[in-house]
């Protein structure tokens, strides 16, 4: 019985060793410690979750890299628009000379018109993977209000150059701008983008007034029956600030409203100021491009790309030709101006503003490319760390498993040998018992 019991125990241990050895063979063959839920239930659950994170992050990296490529295409198109605008600006500078003949101005204008067409072509045709980039469809901005900017004034009619400030703006001896806090538009009136220049040209000692020359220019059809209007009006000196000064175009559409005209003195003759008005921009109606930058919900990057059409840049219809003039009192056309100065100055100022806008957009695109690059790098690091964590859970420790497998092989061999010896011993004991009971001899083979 002791022999049979020993055989049973040896066989049990041998079975366990062979089962363990079988698992190690399968693990070493696949390189995985956890192949099914039976191997490690909690470890398998954690591992599958990590695999989902790894897969999602890898696809997010691909999304980010694709978005970078799209932004690279957009930046190339923006650079083209920038180069075109620089050429247009050079042409506007060339046109700001009364020495140019009418034919020369027409040639300059022809090139400007063609370049404007090319800008619109770039805005409409720049796309990536069938998605238009610069037509405004990827712009979610809410628009901007109309605004005024002061630009350099031209020389006064007598050839002198004046400052855009007056010596006693508030009537208390403090200098200041000719207009106090000018701003554009007022409710209920149509805003007309245009250019306004004010010159204080003369002082009439007999009346105690100064003559102020006002010139308005606009290419907007609603401006009136012409493009340029000039008027002279009188302002009393040392009358303090005159509030509510409103400047209207010949058709009655407002160019801008100045909160107040500053206090004017005889010493201010020669002072001048030039404003250019940029029309309000309505909300684009587009939507920002959304790019998944991570494996989790909410890991999104928004990409805004504005329209670069001539309308969006407010340079559509710019002209350097001699403008038609209009009588502001009767709103009737009175011929063509002898100088294109205001038209060319308006065109140059608008192109300068467009160049600044394109530079700002390119800077924004560059910042987005850098940000996406950081997202891609962060994603790559996350994939590396998650993969390492998953490997620690799921992959087999080859060195440890190999040592254990060798141990199990030795134990199996020893166990098999012991079982064989126990079987021989059991056979011998059985035959000896039979011989004793039979009283004879038995040959043990």
> Residues for the chain: how many in total?
445
Q: Which two tokens stand for residue 378?
A: 């962060």
Round to whole Å and give the CA distance between 63 and 372.
10
pLDDT at 444: 45
pLDDT at 54: 84
pLDDT at 331: 87
Contact 309, 125 (CB under 8 A): no
For residue 67, report the phi and psi dihedrals to the nearest 5 degrees.
-65, -40
Q: Which two tokens stand for residue 281?
A: 């921009």
pLDDT at 209: 93
Contact 132, 124 (CB under 8 A): yes
Round to whole Å and give the CA distance between 321 and 108.
9
Round to whole Å and give the CA distance between 316 and 113.
9
Round to whole Å and give the CA distance between 92 and 235.
34
Residues of the chain with pLDDT under 50: 1, 442, 444-445
Q: b/e per residue, 149-161, with b = 16+ CB within 10 A?
A: eebebbebeeeee
| Those residues with Cβ within 8 angstroms of residue 213's Cβ, 6 or more apart along the chain or in another chain | 157, 198, 199, 201, 230, 231, 232
Round to whole Å and give the CA distance between 440 and 51.
75
pLDDT at 311: 92
Residue range 193-229, pLDDT digits in tens: 889 888 888 999 999 999 988 899 998 888 888 899 9
What's the pTM? 0.78
pLDDT at 318: 94
Q: Which residue has the tokens 């009188």?
A: 234
Concatenated DSSP letters of 132-174 = ESSSSTB-----B--EEEEEPPPPPTTS----SEETTTTSSS-
The superfamily (CATH) of domain 32-140+290-321+343-395 is f41 fragment of flagellin, N-terminal domain (1.20.1330.10)
pLDDT at 368: 87
């Amino acid at each position: 019985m002791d022999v049979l019991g020993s055989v049973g125990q040896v066989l049990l241990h041998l079975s366990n060793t062979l089962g363990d050895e079988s698992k190690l063979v399968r693990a070493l063959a696949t390189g995985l410690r956890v192949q099914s839920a039976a191997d490690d239930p909690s470890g398998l659950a954690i591992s599958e979750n990590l695999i989902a994170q790894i897969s999602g992050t890898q696809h997010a990296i691909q999304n980010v890299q694709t978005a970078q490529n799209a932004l690279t295409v957009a930046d190339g198109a923006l650079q083209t628009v920038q180069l075109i605008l620089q050429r247009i600006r050079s042409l506007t500078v060339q046109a700001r000379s009364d020495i140019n003949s009418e034919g020369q101005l027409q040639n300059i204008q022809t090139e400007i018109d063609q370049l404007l067409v090319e800008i619109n072509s770039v805005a409409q045709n720049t796309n990536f993977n069938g998605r238009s980039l610069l037509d405004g469809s990827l712009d979610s901005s809410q628009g901007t209000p109309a605004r005024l900017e002061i630009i350099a004034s031209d020389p006064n009619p007598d050839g002198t150059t004046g400052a855009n400030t007056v010596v006693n703006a508030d009537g208390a001896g403090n200098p200041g701008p000719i207009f106090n806090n000018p701003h554009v538009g007022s409710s209920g009136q149509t805003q007309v983008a245009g250019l306004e220049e004010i010159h204080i040209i003369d002082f009439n000692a007999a009346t105690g007034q100064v003559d102020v020359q006002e010139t308005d220019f606009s290419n907007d059809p609603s401006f009136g029956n012409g493009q340029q209007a000039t008027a002279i009006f009188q302002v009393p000196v040392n009358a303090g600030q005159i509030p509510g000064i409103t400047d209207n175009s010949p058709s009655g559409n407002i160019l801008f409203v100045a909160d107040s005209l500053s206090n004017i003195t005889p010493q201010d003759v020669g002072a001048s100021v030039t404003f250019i008005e940029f029309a309000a921009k309505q909300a684009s109606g587009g939507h920002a491009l959304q790019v998944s930058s991570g494996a989790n919900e909410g890991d999104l990057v928004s990409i805004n790309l504005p329209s670069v059409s001539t309308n969006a840049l407010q340079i559509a219809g710019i002209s350097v030709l001699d403008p038609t003039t209009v009588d502001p009192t009767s709103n009737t056309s009175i011929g063509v101006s002898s100088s294109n100065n205001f038209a060319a100055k308006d065109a140059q100022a608008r192109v300068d503003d467009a160049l600044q806008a394109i530079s700002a957009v390119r800077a924004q695109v560059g910042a987005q490319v850098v940000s996406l690059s950081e997202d891609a790098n962060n994603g790559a690091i996350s994939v590396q760390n998650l993969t390492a964590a998953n490997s620690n859970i799921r992959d087999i420790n080859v060195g440890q498993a190999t040592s254990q497998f060798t141990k199990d092989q030795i134990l199996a061999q020893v166990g098999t040998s012991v079982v064989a010896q126990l079987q021989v011993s059991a056979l011998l004991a059985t035959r000896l018992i039979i011989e004793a009971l039979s009283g004879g001899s038995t040959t043990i083979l």
